[in-house]
Structure 1
């Protein structure tokens, strides 16, 4: 019985239900060893108290300067918002969210113990794979991107180290810290997003309005990297002008002829006729990407259309005839999986959205993201 002003009261003491529920959620898990630690987040292995065989990863997002103003970082809000909305076999699953007394936010994520696609691509000496494996990985990535776009979500940071590998071999798209909704066609969008080596030309030309075509370009970069086992569009240093240079020399120079209206984009830099590189022909794509055959090269070429309006959509990618041509995609159980282990997952999840590992693979993407982009 509570006492107020010396008199007994029948009113029960006030209980903060939110804190109580938060504590209950927190007590469901037992943290294990730290898998990764960074300025933005720490990542731990964990399991359910009720069933130690049920493994998860806990991403503890550290309190930063944004907390004083918003209570939580923009990237964390994005990640939570979109992972709660998107449930798909090829998108990392968010099981739960809870906070600690120190206000650190904890994301309970799917346990993905086989590392990421980047480590697998880079391990040329020990990991061998072929066209069937590439087709299986690309099918899973394409389905994940299609599902995002069907739900009006742009991922905006598709790259191999954001593709984590589950115990059964499935690819899971992770890191939604730069994602945003594109349901409103009149909403201005930042062009300074997507890791540079995977960023399409319209963003280098400072387009304020864009579509799922930006993700499709990134998917094409992953496809090319899987085949060649090296970065497809590297520029060092990765300045905007150097990136446009590598896109022009590798794929073709954007001009009014191949991209009507491109010169009206505010970041467009005119190129003298003598310096224009013609758009790469289909036979050149086929010669460079023989491993996936002429039909696979056709799919890749259409992902790299300079004009984003001519680029394939995620739905059109899945409707392409490459999926029904030989060879068939590998079965999950036959896919290589030694992509780096739990430590790799920890390294991937600890980063802020858009941040690259320190492996000399490009920029820490400039981030002029405002709260309104979470519409």
Structure 2
């Protein structure tokens, strides 16, 4: 919304969002319905589809980087590890994405990758929403691989051609594949189908964000809950920052919060989207997508 400097600091003024998906998942007073999970997943895929359509990899998708607005809208945040991927032959680091949400190709040291790394992370988030606990919580990179293979089975050359030639490949052990239905007992067939498409070993076979939005999971009943009716913690912001006569009032009160320069506490801002395209398409939650 704004950028200003103060001494040697560069300050970014962002929309205030005081909740995230991790807070909601951990709040045991909240009960999720299948339609609620479907709504959060639809908004996540819409935001990610916009990023990928504009050749941006997020590279750090996880529940506490999916922020929740006062009206229930989910927004992708924290693009500190994001980068463009217009050139498919450009070498990139594999030391990205929080370990529990990191795909196996990065754990094996792959330096050439695309949108599939974000899709794997979304699959882990999808599973976490259904389980209410992290799906693949490894304690180290090697343990992370073992955790993934215990859950999904050790990949073969047929499952994932060429994975044994990746730079950091090491044999991890042989684990049988366990059907997703054995763990996600309450999930619908369409939900398990989309989950398996996200957690496919071969990155090029994973579903794209655009394809995911057209998956039968989103067109079958129940339809996604409207964002305003989604579960939210009691402490969540009930309304946005006050706007008066076009002014945005920034509060600098509270423990540990440094006050902004006096002339910045209240200033007239032009619309943050003036001259820009909307960052995401609106969802119609009343009918099939």
Residue 141 of structure 2 aligns with which residue? 240
Give yes or no for the alignment of 1:278 onto 2:176.
yes
Give yes or no for the alignment of 1:120 onto 2:24.
yes
In 2, the alpha carbon distance for the partners of 1:306 and 1:202 equals 8
The one of 207, 216, 221 equivalent to 1:312 is 207
Residue 197 of structure 2 aligns with which residue? 302
Superposed displacement of residue 340, structure 1: 5.0
In 2, the alpha carbon distance for the partners of 1:143 and 1:321 equals 15
In 1, the alpha carbon distance for the partners of 2:41 and 2:234 equals 16
Q: Deviations over 1:185-216 (max 9, x none)?
A: 12110001100000000001100100100000
The one of 98, 116, 122 equivalent to 2:4 is 98
Give yes or no for the alignment of 1:152 onto 2:152.
no
Q: Deviations over 1:328-359 (max 9, x none)?
A: 1111221112175469xxxxxxxxxxxxxxxx
Do 2:66 and 2:75's aligned partners in 1 also have CA atoms closer than 8 Å?
yes
Residue 292 of structure 1 aligns to a residue whose secondary structure is coil
Residue 135 of structure 1 aligns with which residue? 38
Superposed displacement of residue 262, structure 1: 0.6
In 1, the alpha carbon distance for the partners of 2:184 and 2:102 equals 21
Superposed displacement of residue 313, structure 1: 1.1
Ranges in structure 2 where 5+ consecutive residues have no aligned partner: 238-256, 258-289
Residue 91 of structure 1 aligns with which residue? none
Ranges in structure 1 where 5+ consecutive residues have no aligned partner: 1-94, 344-375
In 2, the alpha carbon distance for the partners of 1:249 and 1:108 equals 44
Do 2:70 and 2:236's aligned partners in 1 also have CA atoms closer than 8 Å?
no
The one of 215, 219, 232 equivalent to 2:118 is 215
Q: Deviations over 1:254-284 (max 9, x none)?
A: 232311111110111135xxx422334xxx2
Residue 187 of structure 2 aligns to a residue whose secondary structure is helix
Range that drifts further, 211-220 or 287-296? 287-296
Equivalenced residues, count: 238
In 2, the alpha carbon distance for the partners of 1:227 and 1:233 equals 13
* 1:60-209 mapped onto 2 (5 Å cutoff): 95-100=1-6, 102-113=7-18, 115-124=19-28, 126-209=29-112
Max radius of gyration: which structure? 1
Residue 99 of structure 1 aligns to a residue whose secondary structure is strand
Question: Which TM-score applies when normalising by structure 1?
Answer: 0.61
Residue 143 of structure 1 aligns to a residue whose secondary structure is helix
Question: Which TM-score applies when normalising by structure 2?
Answer: 0.79
The one of 269, 289, 295 equivalent to 2:184 is 289
Residue 336 of structure 1 aligns with which residue? 231
Aligned alpha-carbon RMSD (Å): 1.5
